Each structure stands twice: as C-alpha cells, then as structure tokens.
Amino acid sequence: MNKVRITSRPFLKGLDGSPTFLYRLTNSSGAYVEITSLGASIVSIVVPDRNGKLTDVALSYATSDGFLNSDCYFGASVGRVAGRIAHGKFTLNDKEYSLAINNGVNALHGGIRSFSRRTWNASITPSGLKMSLVSPDGEEGYPGTLKVSITFSFSEDNALLIDYKAITSEDTLVNLTNHTYFSLSGEESNSILDNELQIEASRYIEVDKDMVPTVSKSVIGTPFDFTHFKEIGRDIFENNAQLNIAHGYDHSFILNESKTAYAYSKKTGIMLTCKTTYPILHLYTSNFVNVPLGKHHHAYSLYSGFCLETQLYNDAINHPEWPSVVLRKGELYHHQTLFKFSAK
Ligand code: GLA
C-alpha cells in the first residue's frame, strides 16, 4: 500500500488571476515534496540530511510575479520544447514554422506563454499527483493540439518520480523536462559550487556564441569531465571557450547507457541519484540567476542551484544526425526521470 499522503492548499494567483494550489506529498518519515499547479512546478523537496534533519534542497519563488515573469523557470515543467530552437525556425513535413524569439536570437523553453507559466489541472490518482494541460493547435507557433500529463510520485525511500506523457492531433515537436534548481547544502545556502557531481556521460555538446548547439565532443581532458565525482566549482572558472560563452555550465551531456547522474553535498551528506529514460542531461549552474524574492523571501544569486534537465537533444529538429523530437499523430510520448535522495 502506498503510504504517501497528498494534501493541498490554495496557493498564489496564476496567469490571468487563476487560482492555483500547492500539493504536498509526504511519506511516513515526514519527508515531502511540494508541487504547485502554477507551471506544474516543484516548490520544495524536503529530505533528511545525514543527521536526520529535514532539509529543503529545491529553490523556488515567494511571489506570483516570480513564477509568471522570471526567466529562471525554478522547478517548472517546461514545454512544449525544452531548450533552444535555433532562430526559432524549423521545417516539419515540408512546412516551415517560425516560433516567437524569447532568448537572444533563439526560441527557448516553449516560448512566451510556455507550459511553465500556465495553470495546470491537478488530480490525485492512485499513482500520484497528475498535472495535465491541453496546448491548442498553433500555440506559440507549434502545430497540433497537444495533450500533456505529468505525474509526480514520491516514495517511502525519498524517490521523486516524474512521468511525462503526451499525445498530439498532428505531427509536432515535444521535449518535456523539469527545471528544478537543486542545492544539496540546503536552498538557503545560496551556493552549489561545493556540491559534487558525477554524470555518466563521455560526450557533451558544444554551443556557438548564441548558445545554439553545434557538435558533440569528448569530455576527457576538459572541464566537462564529470565521469568521477567533482565539485561543480572546481573547473567552472577556468578560461575555457565553452564556459566563457555560457558563463558557467549550460550544456547538454549525452548520457551513457546507465542514464544516471549523482550529486552530493559533503556539508549535509545529502546524495541525489538521477535516473532517466531520456538521452540528454542538460546541466545548468544558475549562471544568470538574480532573484531578490526567493522562497521565504531570501535572495538567490549566481551559482545558487544546479539543474539536471533530463530531456531529448536541444535543437534536434535542426540536427538530423541526432534522435528526433518529432511526436507523430497516434504515437504516445512517454518518458520518466527519477530523483532519489539519500544521506551518508
Ligand atoms: C536552461 C537554459 C539556460 C537558461 C535556463 C533558464 O538551462 O539552457 O540558458 O535559460 O534554462 O534560466
């Protein structure tokens, strides 16, 4: 029997003043995850440190304005297409599409009225908290009516499972992710430079000066080598062309077959194990974060969290050599990512 309890309470105002709710999934140890229907966003992940002290390891906002207007996407469910589409242009079934440009010269994270800013429908199901929405045909320039559901479940052993499903009325592009900023020393610590990371990936994808993905390269001998545990801050300030463009890590890693990554804080002993069905882990180290009104009204700045955005390849629609992000009419889009917390 699932012992995890789900409770809810009214939350901040969403888009167009819509009411939103905050759901709490609590297991019998008292550890919990909070998720709001505002952007289907993860608001808190509260898990025990090595001394059993409950510690919040996820960044979030204090205000509606944060959820609706910040470019950080704290905790958000991102879609229709996570990551960048170069110049917002693509061709599908011989038709050219132009998307809104919302990040330099590119389209980023689903556009202006992206899934992260929508109020989702929430329902409590036997498998967890299900968030769903319908994205109308043509929304943000994408073809096809897309029905999306994301189910969040939390287990007795502190594992948060995110299960993504989508179907479309016409061929379209889909690449859904979650944009949680983790901070394993506690979200109020405001630095992840001492958090250690291991990513089971032997290649990463370089970007051009506009952050458009170009080619994959071996991580060996570069600051992108996370094949063994390494502090995020160890190489981040190296004079490396890729780190200079992105002001830190903001790059896709091509996961090896195990599709696993680990993160650890020596300070709290909290270990995060990430396992996914997705081929890519996009590491982002808060290179542009400046949020004066973070959760509990404290500020977050540069390097205050790290994101493990599991997803399909960025800009794959313009790179035929990479696995496709096209969802065909009649197909089911289905991916899962597990974030499991332990302490030692
Ligand atoms: C992703 C992008 C970053 C940044 C963040 C959100 O990680 O790759 O460049 O836009 O989202 O702020």
- Rounded distance from Cα 141 to ligand 1 centre (Å): 21
For residues 43 and 60, give the distance between their C-alpha atoms in angstroms, rounded to a whole number: 5
For residues 153 and 343, give the distance between their C-alpha atoms in angstroms, rounded to a whole number: 20
Atom of ligand 1 nearest to the CA of 108: 10
67, 73, 303, 315: which to mutate for ligand 1, most atoms within 8 A of CB? 73
Q: Whose CA is nearest to atom 5 of ligand 1?
A: 72
In the prediction, which pLDDT does 1 show?
59
For residues 153 and 78, give the distance between their C-alpha atoms in angstroms, rounded to a whole number: 18
Contacts of 49 (CB under 8 A, 6+ apart): 55, 268, 269, 270, 343
Ligand 1 pocket by C-beta < 6 Å: which residues? 71-73, 108, 250, 282, 284, 288, 307, 309
Question: What is the rounded (10 degree) CA torsion for 136, 142, 143, 144?
Answer: -40
Atom of ligand 1 nearest to the CA of 250: 8
Q: Which residues of 199-224 are buried (b: 16+ CB within 10 A; e: fewer)?
A: bbbbbbbbbeeebbbeebeebeeebb
Using DSSP, state whether 203 is helix, strand or coil: strand
In the prediction, which pLDDT does 113 show?
85
Q: Are 192 and 304 in contact (CB under 8 A)?
A: yes
Using DSSP, state whether 209 is helix, strand or coil: coil
Q: What is the pLDDT along the chain (344 residues), one digit of tens a residue?
A: 578 999 999 999 999 999 999 999 999 999 999 999 999 999 999 999 999 999 999 999 999 999 999 999 999 999 999 999 999 999 999 999 999 999 999 999 999 989 999 999 999 999 999 999 999 999 999 999 999 999 999 999 999 999 999 999 999 999 999 999 999 999 999 999 999 999 999 999 999 999 999 999 999 999 999 999 999 999 999 999 999 999 999 999 999 999 999 999 999 999 999 999 999 999 999 999 999 999 999 999 999 999 999 999 999 999 999 999 999 999 999 999 999 999 99
pTM of the model: 0.98
Atom of ligand 1 nearest to the CA of 73: 6
Helices (H), the chain: 64-69, 241-246
Question: What is the rounded (10 degree) CA torsion for 68, 176, 140, 134?
Answer: -90
In the prediction, which pLDDT does 195 show?
98
Using DSSP, state whether 68 is helix, strand or coil: helix
Q: Is 71 left (phi over 0), alpha (psi -120 to 50) or beta?
A: alpha
In the prediction, which pLDDT does 2 show?
73
For residues 162 and 31, give the distance between their C-alpha atoms in angstroms, rounded to a whole number: 17
